[in-house]
Amino acid sequence: MLDKNSMIADLHIHSRFSRACSRNIDFENLVKWAKVKGLNLLGTGDFTHPQWFEEIKKLKNNGKGFYYYKDFPFIITGEISLIYTQEKGRRVHLNLLIPSIGIAEKIHAYLDTKGRRDYDGRPIFKISCEVFIEDMMRISEDIEVIPAHIWTPWFGVFGSMSGFDSLKEAFGKQFDNIHAIETGISSDPEMNWKIKELENKSIISFSDAHSFWPFRLGREATIFKKCDLYQELIRQIRENDFIGTIEADPCYGKYHWDGHRVCGFSCSPEKTKELNGICPKCGKSLTLGVEYRVDELSDKNSSPKIKKPFYKILPLHEIISLWLGVSMQSKKVWEVYNSLIKLFKNEFNILLNVLRNDFVKESVDGKLVGLILKNRKGNIKVKPGYDGEYGVAQIGEAQEKLF
């Protein structure tokens, strides 16, 4: 149960200026749907993009690092892609939290000496992780750099194609300036607790949303102690003093299992080892997913001092879709979704707080209530996603046959 002294934040999102993102992302839509979702704080995303930054500068600064669109707060954030050669090819995505417009402008000036910022909201630079962190700390020690979706194959620092097997290898002497990692949709805190070098790092979660729809925005989030001060938010991250996280079932993520999307083939890590990593349909190497990499890099001696609680839930659209047996974005799903929001204020309240008796009082269908409560306990089975394909929630006989 969440209380009034907590706030739910999604600090990794994108604007309409990032590739493969909705063309309709603006602050009006972000705030509208963040409130429907039950979020209390958003990152702006894409602060490096010149056009989006002009819109960010119109937000009202509270003088403490929070920037408001009407009555809703944001902090300045953005994702950077580093692609470079260090004996072999390296690829890493980093999410930046920024204390002020002035610091953001200093980062712009730095990046402009390295390349262009105007072609994508997630710009690419040929800078090593270690050098980038060192340079950010020179600009301001209040900048927080968080390795994004750390297990995804191509751009997660632990991903099978990133070129790294550890944070220490990636960040070198700047290792201690990495205070937190982002789980990504294909992993959860429990999986990350298996990695010894994460014992003293905060494990946080954000959505990496490419649209403002509530089945994307806030699908993963971090629950902080309520504040309106950037420095306090960063303190909670650096001291591992936030409340907990909201996670999608890792199987829901696009890269949980191994496989080939074009071949329609996926399998568990155990099966991948039997196949020697080769796709039985095309004979090429399988894309190794998150579960495989966690198994590969895990350490039996890992024992984190602090294990934050987390809620493992699927978006409400997914649950309604499962109940109705129709597409998640269908008109029928939206009708049920909107009726529930009207009754119970926001999605997180429905997913995490509303009691069975309160659903019954409002005549919500018993089977749907059962699924919502089952979801709350993390008990909805999901056919694992792989190679860019989302996982699929299962019900009834299909679920029993799969598992």
Would you say residue 381 has pLDDT above 60? yes
- Of 179, 8, 210, 203, nearest to 96 by C-alpha is 179
Would you say residue 401 has pLDDT above 60? no
Mean pLDDT (the chain) is 95
DSSP 348-399: HHHHHT--HHHHHHTT--HHHHHHHHHHHTT---EEPPBTTB--EE--HHHH
* Alpha carbons 12 and 8: distance in angstroms, whole number: 13
DSSP 314-350: --HHHHHHHHHTS-TTSHHHHHHHHHHHHHHSSHHHH
Q: What is the pLDDT of residue 396?
A: 56
Q: 318 near 215, Cβ under 8 Å? A: yes
DSSP 12-72: -B--TTSTTS-TT--HHHHHHHHHHHT-SEEE---TTSHHHHHHHTTSEE-SSS-EEETTE
Residues 6-251, CATH architecture: Alpha-Beta Barrel (3.20)
The pairing of beta strand 258-260 with beta strand 144-147: unpaired
pLDDT cut 70: percent of the chain above it = 98
Q: How many CB atoms are closer than 10 A to CB 349? A: 16
The pairing of beta strand 72-86 with beta strand 41-43: parallel
Query: pLDDT of 286-342, one tens digit each?
Result: 999 999 999 999 998 898 989 999 999 999 999 999 999 999 999 999 999 999 999
Query: pLDDT of 144-155, one tens digit each?
Result: 999 999 999 999
Question: What backbone phi and psi angles, to 5 degrees, belong to 124?
Answer: -110, 135
Interval 111-125 mean pLDDT: 97
Q: What is the pLDDT of residue 2?
A: 76
Query: pLDDT of 75-106, one tens digit each?
Result: 999 999 999 998 789 999 999 999 999 999 99
Query: pLDDT of 38-86, one tens digit each?
Result: 999 999 999 999 999 999 999 999 999 999 999 999 999 999 999 999 8
Q: What is the pLDDT of residue 402?
A: 33
Interval 2-22 mean pLDDT: 95
**Residue written as tokens 């739910």?**
8
Going from N- to C-terminal start, the domains of the chain cover 6-251, 316-402
* Structural tokens at position 16: 């309409």
